[in-house]
Structure 1
Amino acid sequence: MQLRHKSIEELLDLEQEIRVAKDEEQNGANYRAIDIYKHLYKKISADKDSEYAFSLDSIKRKLVWNLVQYGTYLKTVYQKDDIAAESSLKDAIKHDRYLPIAHYRLGFLSYKKQQYNLALHYFQEAIRLQSMDGDDRYKMNDQQLYQCHLYLANCGLFIAKEAKESLEELNLDVNLNELSNYTTSPLYDLINENNRYLETHAYKMITKTGSRFGNKEDCEEMLECKSTLILDLTGRRNMLLFNSKEVSLSKNPAEMLRMFFLYSNYREPLDKYTFSDLISNTEFGEYPNNTYTTNVRRLNEKITEAGVDVRLIENKPIEDRTTYYYNHLLPFVIMHRSDEMFILSE
């Protein structure tokens, strides 16, 4: 039966099922979750006297959260898709326009396609909304905000450049001498300067001893590191590599491993609350210990699949808490776009 023919109660039952499907990394689970929340929101909105009317804001928050954070993984949990991301982000701002990060990502996607007028609009909105009150989870971080300004400046400069080129093609009977030095002006040089910065700061590489920015070639050099666990988030797939062997990770395990690498050790293990935002919108419910344990077990299995023959994420019971930590028996490298969105904050 199609979702539009299901009752609110049936849709709520499906919501519980889809949470399990997402935790089990089933392909299409993100798409189905978004579809369920859309139908729930539509049905409850249509009946203000519904006994479920009180949950409307909660459903909307879940819908927006899934559109922003998981919209790029609609086809498969392992591969990012720009077309799906663009569609989902546009859908998200229809439901909640106060999403600076969504506007920033739409601006970036438009910029990649050289749609500078549209990109300029999105970057302007991202900057405007950044200073307004709203959910901090959808705010840009400092690196994203800085790059947003650079992209915005470049959009304006590219538009000016295109306007001059179009003007020259018109062959008008007017004096164009005042524009003759445009290509050597400081503004035109700024386009190249901004592009150089964006290229050399496109990616961030992190190890236990520190971090640095670089370009795609720098990341490719890091992939040559031996006896090192490499979490590569730079491509269409999130990859875990060890001595040239690789396995794919979906978004949640990739974020979990990143947190274990960066913020855990024997003295400072991580409990389930560190990861609660990852597990099926647990801001709206409890994150069971056994779910946390299962997710860590699956993560350890992925590490083994990558060719590591020792256990790297270990359990450390603390009173009534279940905690785990990365034991640092192997060095790690994390690589991602410098303006990457993460659910779990640093």
Structure 2
Amino acid sequence: MPQFTITPVSDHLDIDIRNKIDLKTKPIGALGLLEDTAFTIARIQQTLTPSLNAPTIAVFAGDHGIAKTGLVNPYPQEVTYQMVMNFVKGGAAINVLSKQNNIDIKIIDAGVNYDFGTVDKLIDAKIAYGTANYLEGPAMTQAQCEQAIAKGAEIIQSIFNKGSNVVGFGEMGIGNTSAASLLMSVICDIPIADCVGKGTGANQEQLAGKIKTLQQVLEKHQDLDKANPIAILSTFGGFEIAQICGGMLKAAELGMIILVDGFICTAALLVAQMIEKAILDYCVFTHQSEEHGHQLMLKTINAKPLLQLGMRLGEGTGCAVAYPIVQSACTFLNEMASFEGAGVSQQSAI
């Protein structure tokens, strides 16, 4: 497994950044979360004039062994590869929303249970044809987990090398809300019933069955070392979640701005911050998912999401929709006049 060296963001410019924000021609705090976001971005880049270059969203897809049983998902596993083909053809929500906001997207086969052959615009990073069923044993071996983390890091390094300094993460994988719920329950020490949601559209009866099944999974793995992030990820994760984890760690190591999407991507971040706590300094949380448990997940890491639109699609759509807000944060910081520059009395605007 690659070793990541993530430098905690320096507070060297904190006072200067805050002064620049506060001395714009507005009452202090009047731009709300835009001000917090501008502060975060300027702090990450250690500059008073931050810039967003070649924004990219990386969408990782993988299948989960549990999905073959039908115990936790109303949709068949085949939907994963069908949606990947939809991504490649440009027909999904993430495609149109990214296009609207001039964001490049990368589609990655992290471990889909399908042989794509050679498909244009699809990055082959397949670890295996889906994970194992964690009702029977660990979802993946430690070697597979470490390989997935390394592969995710490699993909983000490639994106960075092409000039990007801001990257969002998305995912696709039937059954991956169950994996995320298990990760959340173990890492945050929250009962599984408070972590589980409807995922791709389970009804109440299916939801009750999903909770029961995942409780059985936790009982089977009750001897798991809960202080070991790789053990946790290997046991419950998906290849797409592991690659997102590795990608996020590499992005922070490279000093990139990380746009965090919804429930599954935040679960990947929970694992990543166990490996390197400083990764949280590099994150902008784009939205609070409607998926049950995401609010608690965000609260655990003291995250303030930019949006709450009732979305629970995944794919990185929260990143795409929130990106113009991130742009606005940079724009006001860089272009809005100061009281002194505009010749406006500061007292009159307070």
Q: Kindly name which structure, 1 or 2, has the bigger radius of gyration based on alpha carbons.
A: 1
TM-score class, shorter-chain normalisation, is: under 0.3
Higher relative contact order (CA 8 A, sep 6+): 2
Choose between structure 1 and 2: higher helix proportion.
1
TM-score, normalisation: structure 2:
0.26
TM-score norm. by structure 1 comes to 0.26
